Structure 1
Amino acid sequence: MSQLGFRILPINKRPNQDLLDAFSEVVTPHISDNMSRMSAVGTDLRPYHNSGRLVGTALTVKTRPGDNLMVHKAIDMAMPGDVIVVDAGGELTNAIVGEIMLRIAQKNQIAGFVINGAIRDIAAFQEDTFPVYACGVTHRGPYKDGPGEINVPISIGGMIIKPGDIVVGDEDGVVVVPLEDAENVLEKVKKQQKVEEEILASIANGTVDRSWVNKLLAEKGCEDYDTN
């Protein structure tokens, strides 16, 4: 019988490396735009590392706020390229990871951390390029009692993250792409990327067409006294 709330499950399906490599070449705003602007892993999550992008496979952890026992287990069982995504309830009273866990994760070739909670030893993170996204910082350490679950669906900021989904993070934040939709999203993202490159080129050479602004205002019934 499954011990609901205190269990460790496997990742049943993973993205291939070619797909991960392709997502490493696109930005989170383009991904978000092509997921109907409804998907983001919480606006409270901000990067705490020095620089660098995050792309990898979601290894999910759901833990009691302030407790990191299952996060330690996740670090030990993660495969190279996995991103440990932790729902710790957004609680900032106790840190979920610190420098020791950072160094172990690096040694294990984990791709990064996404922590719906707090971290500590912030200087170590800020001086490093290991991707870490969190909601805040506190010096108070965690407990190690459990319970918790590994590789179950979790929710952060209203977005569902499933084990095996693709996690992408950059300066604008974190977005998670459902594995079953990843190829379709990537195709749309590449099209938008090309369109925006053309727009930027037209701005640079002075040929950008801004007539759509007035056209849209007129369609919406805006009363316009601008004579310029």
Structure 2
Amino acid sequence: MSSLIGKTGVVVRNVTRGDKQLIEEIRQFGVATVHEAQGRKGLLDNVIRPIQQNESISGSAITVLVAPGDNWMFHVAVEQCQPGDILVVGTSSPCTDGYFGDLLATSLQARGVGGLIIDAGVRDTRTLREMGFKVWSRAVHAQGTVKETLGSVNIPIVCAGQCVEPGDVVVADDDGVVVIRREELSNVVDISRKRADLEEQKRLRLAAGELGLDIYAMRQKLADRGLTYYNNLSDLQG
């Protein structure tokens, strides 16, 4: 698959998607929990930020490779989208032009697409928020694009430091974006459930007044590292 990264002039029509119920469930755990649950991998670079707040999405990735300053392949990709998909876009060279705005969002909304993750720029952000179309992007930039150079749709791409394959599961919220390999989805959901249950138990204990020092059994490790307590500052000075 890695040999296909960067290949242009290709559209793959058939994408194997993950189980819809598991995709919806994993959204509820959030990016931070999912990232930890799958061994601290799959997290996109922190430059990819949401243009809105208090929103989260999950879905199967439709991948798009675009040329710098050229959004031609977005229009090709729309046709390949199904309800619940997420468009994930990487560029063949770094670019922060405004590839995407309200017109493309309207087209994607009509196909039931859940949102956009793009390692480049977007524009019309106020309208996008008003539309309720969810976007995570590297930049917000009014600079427009052209339609001249071929890219590809539904091949492996690199987006914000992570390899994303068509059909991989994407989760995005206020904390960022994480990618889960489609074949690992069931296992990651199971681990996320257990992690979320454990965190809820700890939350209840913390709310009841217990200290993290005791819940996480930190005291001995801190002592082994040399942490020393003094009753008064004068004792330390003496």
* TM-score normalised to structure 1 length: 0.91
Give the SS at the match of 2:38.
Answer: coil
Which structure has the larger Rg over C-alpha atoms? 2
Alpha carbons of 1:109 and 1:52: their partners in 2 closer, same or farther (altered >3 Å)?
Answer: same
Alpha carbons of 1:217 and 1:148: their partners in 2 closer, same or farther (altered >3 Å)?
Answer: same
**Displacement, 1:209?**
5.1
The answer to whether residue 162 in structure 2 is matched with residue 159 in structure 1 is yes
Give the SS at the match of 2:190.
Answer: helix
Point out where structure 1 has 5 or more consecutive residues left out of the alignment: none
Contact 2:10 2:151 (8 Å CA) reproduced: yes
Which of 22, 25, 42 lines up with 2:25 in the alignment? 22
Percent identity over the alignment is 27
Quote the residue 2:74 is aligned against: 71
Which of 219, 222, 229 lines up with 1:217 in the alignment? 222
Aligned CA RMSD, in angstroms, stands at 1.8
Contact 2:13 2:80 (8 Å CA) reproduced: no
- Inter-partner Cα distance in structure 1 for 2:222 and 2:41: 25
Quote the residue 2:234 is aligned against: none
Contact 2:64 2:154 (8 Å CA) reproduced: yes
**Letter in structure 2 aligned against 1:196:** E
Give the SS at the match of 1:133.
Answer: strand
**Letter in structure 1 aligned against 2:71:** N
Which of 141, 144, 150 lines up with 2:144 in the alignment? 141
Contact 1:50 1:127 (8 Å CA) reproduced: no
Task: Show the 5 A alignment for 1:40-119.
Answer: 40-88=43-91, 89-92=93-96, 94-119=97-122
Give the SS at the match of 1:22.
Answer: helix
**Displacement, 1:168?**
0.6
Quote the residue 1:12 is aligned against: 15
Point out where structure 2 has 5 or more consecutive residues left out of the alignment: 232-238
Give the SS at the match of 1:59.
Answer: strand
Give the SS at the match of 1:155.
Answer: strand
Give the SS at the match of 2:166.
Answer: coil
Contact 1:51 1:131 (8 Å CA) reproduced: no
Give the SS at the match of 2:228.
Answer: coil
Stretch of structure 1 that moved more, 176-185 or 68-77? 68-77
The answer to whether residue 238 in structure 2 is matched with residue 227 in structure 1 is no
* TM-score normalised to structure 2 length: 0.87
**Letter in structure 2 aligned against 1:57:** S
Alpha carbons of 1:11 and 1:172: their partners in 2 closer, same or farther (altered >3 Å)?
Answer: farther
Task: Write out per-residue CA displacement over residues 187-220 of structure 1, whole angstroms, 9 at most, x where no aligned residue.
Answer: 111111001001110111123452322222244x
Contact 1:50 1:129 (8 Å CA) reproduced: no
Task: Write out per-residue CA displacement over residues 158-182 of structure 1, whole angstroms, 9 at most, x where no aligned residue.
Answer: 2111100111111101111100111
Quote the residue 2:236 is aligned against: none
- Inter-partner Cα distance in structure 1 for 2:14 and 2:176: 24
- Inter-partner Cα distance in structure 2 for 1:165 and 1:202: 36
- Inter-partner Cα distance in structure 2 for 1:193 and 1:90: 37
Contact 1:64 1:148 (8 Å CA) reproduced: yes
- Inter-partner Cα distance in structure 2 for 1:157 and 1:135: 8
Q: How many residues align?
A: 223
**Displacement, 1:63?**
1.1
**Displacement, 1:69?**
0.6
